Amino acid sequence: MDDTQDTAGPRRRSRARTPALVGAGIVLVAGVGTAGALGLGGGGTDDAGRAGPRTSRTVRVEQGTLTEQREIDGTLGHGAEVPFRIRAEGTVTWLPEAGAKVGRGGTVLRVDDRPVTLLYGSLPMYRELAVPQPGPPATGTDGSTSGGTEKGDPQSSSEDQSSAGSQSSAESQSSSTPQTDSAPQSSSTPRTLRGMDVRQFETNLSALGYTGFTVDDEFTGLTAEAVGRWQRDLGLPQTGRVALGDVVYAPGPVRIASTGTRIGADATGDPVIYTSTSRMVTMAAPAADLAWAERGTDVTVELPDGRTVEGEVAQVGKDATAPDAPGSGQGEGQDAGGPAAGSATVSVVVAFDDQKAVGRLESGPVTVRYVLRQHKDVLTVPVAALVALAEGGYALEPAGGTGSFVPVETGLFADGLVEVSGSGIRPGTKVRIPE
């Protein structure tokens, strides 16, 4: 056939039709020779020269695209559940409701009536962000400060006199002896706080509408001033410092899946669990049947309400789960869309470009269909129109004939149709459906 396109992949149990499944719908022409069965000679007109019972029901040969699909059962939801790692210490005084959506700058929970704020990013909050404060003067190994002896020290006069005689000789050697900076640096000069976590925080602060600083890797006094304005809007003391437990990070907006604590409990562990705000389908595909599962592969999802919506493969797992143990009962009685019992599976995630097309459903069982093979611009007839010849092969009986048969070559079987080709078979040709 012309213009055919095969998307081959390993087979899995499915509801798709195959030639073995449609044999019951094909009439066998028995008790006649090849020539007589095909009406190609012999001149016989008795009943023995005809091919069994005939019917007045006819169908037309159609031309179009024939697609063989496979099905896998999946689950509609919001993807993996992820716990927030809360670093704030104290008592939980407020929790969000399950299903609530939280965006940048929103409150994940409150601890001691202080909000824990959601920001976007991949780095966790692992240290306090603030302008470093000057520290005490550095001390030497003998315990003296780097600034020397204090004014009025009784030892200062004698030490100065004892060192006066040696000063001139030391100065004379200084010109020929290389000098090394062995004196400790004073810690009174604060070092600047730098890092990618600073840039991540400043990016969020700027996105929330706070300005007056440069988004970079450096936490400066200008950043601290912007932090103070942000704290004022949150109803917090304007310290200009971001404590370890003040914020949490997520890749983007989140949906609260559940809370693992109660108001009045200590804010420890993982009190809030979140998911993506987007709905998606998760399914367990047989590890031996993953040739089709590539990122970007188009699929059709049948929703619990019977509607279908287009999606595409967004993620394919890299780890296979172990097959169910024999006798465990897991996997027994699976329908045609589920993996075979005892087969290892890999998680596959399907995403939707159009979330509105999914409707109001938040979760439920779904069926995912993907293309195994597709032949374009081919002639097709219902499988029931095929007549199996005694000597092998298939034929069609043109309507309006005298019981003669036209041999055909068969191609793809799918959805109760079969691809055919043969002499005299054209689009619109009427053929009989044998009884």
Instruction: Indicate the DSSP class of residue 322.
Output: P
Q: What pLDDT is stored for residue 188 in this prediction?
A: 55
Q: What pLDDT is stored for residue 184 in this prediction?
A: 45
What three-state secondary structure class fits 40? coil
* Unique residue bearing structure tokens 């003998």: 142
Q: What pLDDT is stored for residue 386 in this prediction?
A: 93
Q: How confident is the model at residue 90 (pLDDT cuts 50, 70, 90)?
A: very high
CA–CA dist 371, 297 (Å, integer)? 9
CA–CA dist 398, 381 (Å, integer)? 12
* Unique residue bearing structure tokens 């929790």: 95
Q: What pLDDT is stored for residue 50 in this prediction?
A: 44
Q: What pLDDT is stored for residue 239 in this prediction?
A: 96
Q: How confident is the model at residue 435 (pLDDT cuts 50, 70, 90)?
A: confident
Q: What is the mean pLDDT of residues 197-207?
A: 98
Q: Which two tokens stand for residue 287?
A: 């590890």
CA–CA dist 433, 37 (Å, integer)? 16
Q: How confident is the model at residue 208 (pLDDT cuts 50, 70, 90)?
A: very high
Q: How confident is the model at residue 160 (pLDDT cuts 50, 70, 90)?
A: very low
Q: What percent of the chain has pLDDT over 90?
A: 57
CA–CA dist 138, 117 (Å, integer)? 38
What is the chain's Cα-based Rg? 39
**Average pLDDT of every residue of the chain:** 78
Q: How confident is the model at residue 340 (pLDDT cuts 50, 70, 90)?
A: low
Provide the residue count of the chain. Answer: 435
Is the pLDDT reported for residue 375 higher than 60?
yes
What three-state secondary structure class fits 387? strand
Q: What pLDDT is stored for residue 151 in this prediction?
A: 39
pTM for the full predicted model: 0.64
Q: What pLDDT is stored for residue 1 in this prediction?
A: 44
More confident: 92 or 45: 92
* Unique residue bearing structure tokens 């001691």: 112
**Dihedral (CA of 419, 420, 425, 430) sign:** negative
What three-state secondary structure class fits 228? helix
- The answer to whether 425 touches 408, Cβ cutoff 8 Å, is yes
Q: 352 Cβ partners below 8 Å, 6+ apart?
A: 278, 279, 280, 301, 309, 310, 311, 358
Q: What pLDDT is stored for residue 396 in this prediction?
A: 92
More confident: 351 or 33: 351
Q: What is the mean pLDDT of residues 277-300?
A: 93
pLDDT in tens, 219-248: 999 999 999 999 999 999 999 999 999 999
Q: What is the mean pLDDT of residues 262-287?
A: 94
Q: 429 Cβ partners below 8 Å, 6+ apart?
A: 60, 61, 398
More confident: 21 or 383: 383
Is the pLDDT reported for residue 22 higher than 80?
no
Most confidently modeled range among 64-73, 102-111, 400-409: 102-111
pLDDT in tens, 24-68: 444 444 433 333 333 333 333 333 334 445 556 889 999 999 988
State the distance between the two ends of the chain, measured CA to CA, in whole angstroms: 29
Helix (H) or strand (E) holding 157: helix 154-174
CA–CA dist 286, 343 (Å, integer)? 6
Is the pLDDT reported for residue 203 higher than 70?
yes
Q: What pLDDT is stored for residue 134 in this prediction?
A: 74
Most confidently modeled range among 178-192, 237-251, 369-383: 237-251
